[in-house]
Amino acid sequence: MSDFEINAIDPARLDAIRAAGQDEEGNELSAHGAHGWEPLRCCLRKASRGEQVVLISYAPFTARSPWREVGPVFIHAEPCKGYHDTAAVPEDFRVGPRVLRTYHADGTLDYANITIVPAGEELAPAIADLFDRGVAEIHARALEPQCFTFTASRPGRT
């Protein structure tokens, strides 16, 4: 068993977005065929060429606060199997470059522990180390565009 859990976007939240035909910011959904590079946040893998995907605005935190950030993420246009191997960093996102943005239990940014995982280095050891330091939650993001990828939390805290 891992010391942490990796979580994609909550499937129930995505079901509500798809049913509404718009994301939580009011942007209408518009499906298109993937080019094959799009990082999917519903199942934590890269899209295959031609798969129907949607770009939505997404905020990992649902409560209003100064720490709630909204950004673009790709999801499947229709429900998929999701991501279930929560004890492992997804294969398509297991190495850097990534920034691991750390948060306190109250949802405020933990500036002291924000970590950059360089290109080619594994994320899992850095995530485990951050939880050993007492970090409450981690948001993995692409290093350059800073797009949200997944959350990491301690088991049972999702």
Give the dihedral of Cα atoms 111, 10, 142, 56; nearest 10 deg.
-120
Are 143 and 112 contained in the same domain? yes
Are 71 and 107 contained in the same domain? no
pLDDT values of the chain reduced to their tens digit, one per residue, 158 residues: 468 999 999 999 999 999 999 999 999 999 999 999 999 999 999 999 999 999 999 999 998 889 889 999 999 999 999 999 999 999 999 999 999 999 999 999 999 999 999 999 999 999 999 999 999 999 999 999 889 999 999 986 55
Are 99 and 115 in contact by the 8 Å Cβ rule? The answer is yes
As for how many domains the chain has, the answer is: 2
The residue behind tokens 């246009």 is 77
Are 96 and 143 contained in the same domain? yes
Are 93 and 37 contained in the same domain? no
Are 90 and 72 contained in the same domain? no
Q: d(Cα 157, Cα 94) in Å, to the nearest integer?
A: 21
Q: What is the pLDDT of residue 155?
A: 83
Are 99 and 68 contained in the same domain? no
Are 106 and 139 contained in the same domain? yes
Domain carrying residue 22:
6-76
Give how far Cα 148 sits from Cα of 4, 31, 44, 88, 93, Å: 18, 20, 11, 18, 12
Q: What is the pLDDT of residue 1?
A: 44
